[in-house]
Amino acid sequence: VALALNNLIVANGRASLGAGIINSGTVTVGSCTFSNNQAGVYGFDGVCQGGAIRNSGSLVLVGSTFISNSAVALDLPAAQGGAIFNAATTGGQMNVTNCTFSGNRIAGGSRSSANRGGAICSDSVGAVVNCTFFGNGFSQPGTGSAIAADRALIVVQNCIFASNTIPGCVVGPAATGGG
């Protein structure tokens, strides 16, 4: 199943996973705004993922804006992907081009090593090109204030990173990766 979304505002969604969109098919998003969506409350397998979008299919994002989305774990082990979570379990793929990520956050999570990706957390392949990341991060320790990739290849090209933060880290990476 293929879905195309253009020139929409997706705001104030609340869900355990992907509070704006949860995708396991093919989704193309152009010139949309995702704001104030929150993954949290109930969690899934002990985590909450993708404040705005949780992808386990094929996701293409072009010219879209992600503002103040969050993944909030409360009493769960982990929060992942304040704006987007790209899942490896079913081979999620994402291509993100000319997008802006501002003020996206993750919070909570009793295992700080599992809190990942203030804006984007990806466990599968993807590309992030010509994007801006400003003011994304965490309310407590984690990895990747803007982008976190674990067990995945994420190509990041020609992007701007500014004022993305992790508490307790004076100078830290906006993007992290692991084997």
pLDDT of residue 111: 60
Q: Give the tens place of pLDDT for each residue, 37-85.
A: 999 865 455 678 999 999 999 999 999 999 999 998 876 677 889 999 9
pLDDT of residue 73: 82
More confident residue, 141 or 24: 24
pTM over 0.85: yes
Dihedral sign (CA 46, 48, 54, 55): negative
- CA distance readout (Å), 56 to 26, 27, 71, 89, 151: 9, 11, 17, 7, 15
More confident residue, 89 or 83: 83
Mean pLDDT for the stretch of residues 84-109: 89
More confident residue, 69 or 152: 69
